Amino acid sequence: MAMMNAIEISAYGGPEVLRLVQRPRPQPGEGEVLIRVSASGINRPDVLQRRGHYAPPPGASDLPGLEVAGVIESGDVEAMEAAGLRIGQRVCALLAGGGYAEYCVAPVGQVLPVPHGWSDVEAAGLPETFFTVWSNVFDRGRLQAGETLLVHGGASGIGVTAIQMARAMGAQVIVTVGSRDKASACLRLGAAHAILYREQDFVAEVKRHTQGRGADVILDMVAGPYVARDIECLADDGRLVIIAVQGGTDARFDAGQVLRRRLTITGSTLRPRPVAFKAAIARELRRHVWPLIERGAIRPVVHRVLPAAQAAQAHALMEADTHVGKIILDWTQAR
């Protein structure tokens, strides 16, 4: 049986539970490809999984890792042809798990060509945030050109993608961040305003920057006590999209505002959604976002690249919360 290197969660706990191990190479099934992985993106949900708070959906690999870039090694040729993919092609892919490994399988519909000019390391950090931002900000949140988007956690992997995508689509972006360095980074990426949430009241600041109108869409990865404050600084007909609950799940808010001002409160998680749903997002990204990437309106934001064997250090770095953009594991340094 062909073996591969992989990073497994040996027990729930701190970064040290991540171990480099040998596992059998996965086999692609119908409608799937086998990818020889060059680089794997790290996402906050991987940290939650490592701590035992985010189990993989049924049928997914127990290995962490929601995104990779590499080369198609083999797979369902008919499905590949129908999707315009071929063996040997450089691709990036969204996964439900199994990305921290030298080989992974992905449904053809979740595989996209590496954008021109992007390295594998850069492309490995693309799928999870691009799929998440597209489906939440543009699909559920219906952000339009000329509107204002507030992104909590502007310097996160999700945040740097949201800033650039929304800006490239003609929206104004305001972010909240925890430090001055993160504020500067977000402004350089195209945010119009960065609010230091530890020092400033984001409700008052959003109102000030929008002449009292408020934000049309809010992308919230904090929730808890933020929900009531989000509602206060949403514009009439505004949409609040919750994608994480770092601040807790309990929220009290004035429900009267929701009906008086026709607000929408929604949210979603990407990982457990069916392959067909993710494939539909992939087609939308290809159509609407790939052209923006290829004309340079959206760029990769890689904070740090570590050899895959140092996955524990990479998780510790993410939990230190000083990063701007993506942290990536490089498998080529292990070969």
Residue ranges binding ligand NAP (CB under 6 A): 43-45, 128, 132, 152-153, 155-158, 176-178, 182, 197, 221-222, 243-244, 246-247, 268-270, 318, 321
Strand 32-42 with 103-107, pairing: antiparallel
CA-CA distance, 52 to 212, in Å (whole number)? 42
**What proportions of the chain, in percent to the nearest 5, are helix, strand and coil?**
35, 30, 40
**For ligand NAP, the closer CB: 222 or 234:** 222
**For ligand NAP, the closer CB: 69 or 222:** 222
Torsion of CA 3, 56, 126, 121, to 10 degrees: -30
Question: Shortest distance, CB of residue 322 to ligand NAP, whole angstroms?
Answer: 7
**For ligand NAP, the closer CB: 34 or 219:** 219
* Contact by Cβ (8 Å): 68, 99: yes
Question: Shortest distance, CB of residue 109 to ligand NAP, whole angstroms?
Answer: 17
* Contact by Cβ (8 Å): 204, 232: no
Q: Which amino acid is at 28?
A: P
Report which of 174, 89, 157, 117 is spatially closest to residue 297, judged by C-alpha positions. 117
Question: Shortest distance, CB of residue 160 to ligand NAP, whole angstroms?
Answer: 8
Hey, what are 9's tokens?
A: 């969660």
**For ligand NAP, the closer CB: 44 or 50:** 44
CA-CA distance, 178 to 152, in Å (whole number)? 10
Question: Shortest distance, CB of residue 206 to ligand NAP, whole angstroms?
Answer: 13
Burial class (CB in 10 A: 0-12, 13-18, 19+), 269: middle
* Contact by Cβ (8 Å): 155, 324: yes
Question: Shortest distance, CB of residue 75 to ligand NAP, whole angstroms?
Answer: 26
**For ligand NAP, the closer CB: 5 or 161:** 161
Hey, what are 75's tokens?
A: 């797979």
Torsion of CA 175, 177, 182, 185, to 10 degrees: 0
Question: Shortest distance, CB of residue 221 to ligand NAP, whole angstroms?
Answer: 4
**For ligand NAP, the closer CB: 72 or 158:** 158
Question: Shortest distance, CB of residue 258 to ligand NAP, whole angstroms?
Answer: 21
**For ligand NAP, the closer CB: 23 or 326:** 326
Question: Shortest distance, CB of residue 136 to ligand NAP, whole angstroms?
Answer: 7
* Contact by Cβ (8 Å): 278, 131: yes
Q: How far is the first Cα of the chain from the last one, in angstroms, to the nearest whole number?
A: 19
**For ligand NAP, the closer CB: 30 or 321:** 321
